[in-house]
Amino acid sequence: MIWNEVLETLPREELEALQLKRLRATADRVHATVPFYKKKFDEDGIQPADIRYLKDLQRLPFTTKTDLRDHYPFGLFAVPMEQVVRIHASSGTTGKQTVVGYTRQDIDTWAELMARSLAAAGAQKNDTIQNAYGYGLFTGGLGVHYGAEKLGAAVIPISGGNSKRQIIVMQDFGSTVLTCTPSYALFLAETAEEMGVDIKKLKLRVGIFGAEPWSEKMREEIERKLNLQAIDIYGLSEVIGPGVSIECLEAKQGLHVFEDHFIPEIINPQTGAILPYGEKGELVFTTITKEAFPLIRYRTRDISVLYPEPCKCGRTHVRMERVSGRSDDMLIIRGVNVFPSQIESVLMNIEGVEPHYLLIVDRKGNLDTLEAQVEVNEKVFSDEIKNLQVISRKIENDIKDLLGVTAEVKLVEPKSIQRSEGKAQRVIDKRKI
């Protein structure tokens, strides 16, 4: 179902006219209210009035995570605190967390975008949505919550964790939609199995999973284990939270970016040069309706591709390919660029291997080492040593073939890799460089 038929299917020309109008208003506002932007615009010799066409966006400066940290906590807010009604923050694995603010209007916009997202995934008024994204400073919980209420569905604000209780609630309340990280969805499947509950027979119909990278293979695995349609949802706190883009149930091919609120661009992460549609690079977003925390050309570090072709679902908004990883997740191992998602794709192609793994990077002498701890299923694990060796050898060879790096693979017992209730940790980098 299309929640906002008019705006989500706006003919391209009208959409672009709306974007231009909103971009100009945003540029005006940030220049007038946020000293950081005024200084940057002035340094670059560009004034809001110079924006006459959409492509003039390219003349505006980028904003980075470092800029956000330098103005911690509220330095980039464009409204006085009396107009701010909510604050969220992203965990930030390194350094300070990033803090974002919302006006009442921003909360309404977010709820609208989340209602659109849930509807695109196939959720409706009569659904019961078990929202297992964490509630708190993380945007996942409350983001989904307000959208689900706006949609008119019944939302269960269970938050993450307490996994046995999740299964009981799923069973007793008859949840039809599950929202959580993809890794937690798999953990819930395991929990159900341990409890002797056949999760496949419950009423779950759709799962809306995001907040961390996952692969097409992992989608297949989740759909098989939970017997539902798994939909990819993307977003980041800085831009608004979840609800920046989502796949539609009809096509499940790329995530529609809500372009009447955010303008996406793809750039070469090394040079900053704009890349054309169809080319892979770093996603950059400009928010064009946000009040409290507008962002101009924010570099996400997320790697994706934009596709302008219309979708069979009828939405006209551009689609982005599923995010395969972050440019700052990239490991450089003996000079070779390695994304954890590439190793995941190797693992997922091997029979008996579970989608739970941990990459440990270290340095011995002057040489980088990569150890991949990989979980196998019960059947493989109880197999003869000889067969286990065949599997680990195969993984090592496939990694070598695909990436050209040597990995030491350790097959580990089922359920021995720590599960997460939110974003999974896949990499431990012990190198002190």
Nearest distance in Å: CB 43, ligand DLL: 27
Cβ nearer to ligand DLL, comparing 24 with 219 = 219
Q: Which of residues 300-329 bind ligand DLL (CB under 6 A)?
A: 300, 302, 323, 326
Is residue 213 at the binding interface for ligand DLL, with CB under 6 A as the rule?
A: yes
What is the contact mask toward ligand DLL in residues 182 to 201, using x (rule: CB under 6 A)? --------------------
Is residue 233 at the binding interface for ligand DLL, with CB under 6 A as the rule?
A: yes
Stretch that binds ligand DLL, among 42-50, 204-212, 390-398, 407-415 (CB under 6 A): 204-212
Q: Please list, in sequence order, all residues whose beta carbon lies within 8 angstroms of the beta carbon of residue 417, skipping any fewer than 6 positions away.
A: 356, 357, 358, 373, 375
What is the contact mask toward ligand DLL in residues 115 to 154, using x (rule: CB under 6 A)? ------------------x----xxx--------------
Stretch that binds ligand DLL, among 18-26, 150-158, 232-240, 352-360 (CB under 6 A): 232-240
Q: 319-320 and 306-307 as β-strands: parallel, antiparallel, unpaired?
A: antiparallel
Distance CA 206, CA 224 (A): 12
Specify the amino acid at residue 343: I
Nearest distance in Å: CB 384, ligand DLL: 38
CB 8 within 8 A of CB 316: yes
Cβ nearer to ligand DLL, comparing 24 with 326 = 326
Is residue 355 at the binding interface for ligand DLL, with CB under 6 A as the rule?
A: no
What is the contact mask toward ligand DLL in residues 64 to 103, using x (rule: CB under 6 A)? --------------------------x-------------
Residue with the two structure tokens 């390194």: 94
**Dihedral, 148, 151, 152, 156 alpha carbons, nearest 10:** -10
Q: Which residues bind ligand DLL (CB under 6 A)?
A: 90, 133, 138-140, 210-213, 232-237, 241-242, 300, 302, 323, 326
